[in-house]
Amino acid sequence: MHHFEYRDGVLHAEELSIERLAAEVGTPFYCYSTATLERHFRVFRDAFSDTDSLVCYAIKSNSNIAVIKTLAELGSGMDVVSEGELRRARAAGVPGERIIFSGVGKTAEEMQYGLAEKILCFNVESEQELFLLNDVAGAMNVSAPVSMRINPDVDPKTHAKISTGKAEDKFGVPYRQARELYKQASQLNNIKITGVDMHIGSQITDLQPFGDAFQLLRDLVIELRGDGHNIDHIDLGGGLGIPYGNQENPVPLPDDYAAVVKTHTKDLGCRLLFEPGRMITGNSGILVTRVLFVKNAIDKSFTIVDAAMNDLIRPTLYEAYHDIIPVSDTRNSSPRQKTDIVGPVCETGDYLALDRSLPAFEQGDLLSVMTAGAYGATLSSQYNSRRLIPEILVKKDEYCVIRPRESYEDMLSREKIPSWFSET
């Protein structure tokens, strides 16, 4: 469910015409809907309203501080994986006590910053990380709140590049080594054990892997308590998949996911933490692009648009499917034909859709790439020296350019010609 719909024949974000936005801001651009962000956050949170829980939005899915602020105002916590993300959360006014720090390779400086900001928890992923955190906390004369991220060796049945819970994935502490690591942690002076953590992957559309992993986590909590550890919270990670328009079966709803979580946690008396990203931001954003040229080659049609793989890399990186619709509804009645929607970047992998049956587009048409709010702008780059595109946040009939289009001056100003070129 999202708030991008045709009104009077034109795609709107809430009450704002995308044609108007395109005229005022230029293309391409990302457009986010406040109502959709809020709705998704609430649906997820409300699925756990009968539990002691905190939803910590995974900032990596969309890290614009206006998006973070929108969710923070609803009481969301934040899951960060770098000092940069932690700084974004703080810039949006999120207190440290609502921030958890995940990630397999935190540096001493990042630990220091997290401790100074008094964050809720560090999700630790290795023995060496645990010891470094203890040292950093010791030097600051504080205690670091810690949960270990457990790798349960469960196949999340998602794209190989976004699976994190299998034994061969780099993430977490092997399930069978967890008790030993907790024992070591309990002997460290500046570590305070507070919970356990897991995150098995992203865009998971089958509840079975979640159930299998949560069962293991539950068994571990009982064992750890038996070993004398204080386990106050369980962090169940993120990963709940969303519909992209090509699924054969409906994706599970937050309530279905919540039922699985509760089955395994309800009698443990733990606070529940969650790290959803895509589920909140995915459907809340679109990428708007304009058709530059239509090229009809032999037996093949290419629709060349002004957005490219540097703006949205998901189709080529993960073979991801995104629905593409015309901004003008009348175009939907044009005859359909198969086409590749491609960008201007000089790579064959530069596409937004391949061999897709779509209404025959014409030069100048505006298109909307749907479900682009998660891992769209955050994964974008300047490849081919293309400027980072604007992000726009809509609220009812108002909009704000929450990140302007980069200028060429911005792009060039960060680089430097060495002085030795002027020495001769």
Question: Which residues are at the interface with ligand LLP (CB under 6 A)?
Answer: 58, 60-61, 79, 102, 162, 199, 202-203, 237-239, 275-279, 314, 318, 375, 379
Task: Give the position of tokens 């986010």.
Answer: 32
DSSP state of 313: -
User: What sign does the CA torsion over 323, 328, 332, 337 have?
Assistant: negative
What is the closest distance, in whole angstroms, from the C-beta atom of residue 275 to ligand LLP in the complex?
4
How far apart CA 13 and CA 394 sit, in angstroms, is 7
- The token pair at 116 is 């100074």
Q: Which is nearer to ligand LLP, 252 or 326 (CB)?
A: 252
C-beta neighbour count of 40 within 10 angstroms: 25
What is the three-class DSSP state of 420? helix
**Smallest separation, CB 322 to ligand LLP (Å):** 11
- By beta-carbon proximity to ligand LLP, the closer residue of 276 and 326 is 276
Distance between CA 337 and CA 356 in Å, rounded? Answer: 8
Q: Give catalytic status of residue 31 as yes or no.
A: no
d(CA 193, CA 186): 7
Q: Pick the catalytic residue: 56, 121, 270, 346?
A: 346
Q: Is the CB of 22 or the CB of 173 nearer to ligand LLP?
A: 173
Convert 180-214 to b/e letters by CB count within 10 Å (16 or more is b).
ebbeebeebebbebbbbbbbbbbbbbebebbbbbb
Taken as a whole, the chain contains a residue count of 424
Contact residues for 170 (Cβ-Cβ < 8 A; gap 6+): 104
From CA 115, how far away is CA 121, in angstroms rounded?
9
Q: Compute the distance between CA of residue 131 and CA of residue 126 in angstroms, rounded to an integer.
A: 9
Residue 103 Cβ vs ligand LLP, minimum distance, rounded to whole Å: 7
Q: Name which of 209 and 238 has its Cβ closer to ligand LLP.
A: 238
Q: Residue 170 CB, nearest distance to ligand LLP (Å)?
A: 11
Closest CB 141 distance from ligand LLP, rounded Å: 29
Q: In a 10 Å sphere around its CB, with 0-12 CB exposed, 13-18 middle and 19+ buried, how is residue 347 labelled?
A: middle
If the CB atoms of residues 34 and 202 are measured against ligand LLP, the closer one turns out to be 202
108-116 and 83-91 are packed helices; what angle lies between their axes, rounded to 10 degrees? 20
Q: Which structure tokens are listed for 119?
A: 């964050």
Nearest alpha-carbon partner for 361 in 300, 311, 301? 301
Rounded to an integer, what distance in angstroms lies between the CA atom of residue 291 and that of residue 267? 56
User: Cβ of residue 200: shortest distance to ligand LLP, in angstroms?
Assistant: 10
- From residue 13, alpha-carbon distances to 9, 145, 333, 360 in Å are 13, 42, 22, 24
CB nearer to ligand LLP: give 214 or 399: 214
With respect to ligand LLP, which residue has the nearer C-beta, 22 or 150?
150
- Closest to ligand LLP by CB, 151 vs 339, is 151
Q: Which of 88-95's residues contact partners 24+ apart within 8 Å by CB, and which partners?
A: 88/59, 88/63, 89/59, 90/117, 91/65, 92/65, 92/66, 92/68, 93/69, 94/68
> Where in the sequence numbering do the catalytic residues fall?
346
